[in-house]
Amino acid sequence: MDVFTGFTALYIFMLAGFVGYEVISKVPVILHTPLMSGSNFVHGIVLVGAMVAMGHAEGTLELTIGFIGVALAAGNAVGGYVVTERMLDMFKSSKG
């Protein structure tokens, strides 16, 4: 497993933090709910982490926790996507 040194990670934190702030800052109120749901989907990427953790789990306890983790993360990703898509599907303009 390649690990980031402290400062590389800190730079990523900092830059990603600004990106998140900037991307959202001009969003109209009408999209607040879908956007919250969309960002909820995005942190569903925790799924790949849960898979990695379960992948190198040893013994029943680790495996059980890993299993729960993967199932929960999959729920986050899939549920977040479906709900967001359903909402955004309905937004349309009067011009067609």
Contacting other proteins within 33-92 (CB under 8 A) = 33-59, 61-63, 65-92
Q: How far is the CB of 56 from other proteins (least distance, A)?
A: 8
Residue 95 CB, shortest distance to other proteins, in Å, is 7
Q: Which residue has the tokens 């607040």?
A: 32
CA dihedral 73, 75, 76, 78 (to 10 degrees): 120
Token readout for 45 is: 């990427």
Residues in binding contact with other proteins, number by CB under 8 A: 85
Q: Tell me how far, at minimum, the Cβ of 60 lies from other proteins, in Å.
A: 11
3-state secondary structure of 7: helix
**Amino acid found at 54:** M
Window 15-34: residues binding other proteins (CB under 8 A): 16-21, 23-34
Closest listed residue to residue 20, CA positions, set 30, 35, 2 = 35
Q: How far is the CB of 1 from other proteins (least distance, A)?
A: 5
The reply to whether 7 sits near other proteins by the rule CB under 8 A is: no
Distance between CA atoms of 39 and 78, rounded to whole angstroms?
13
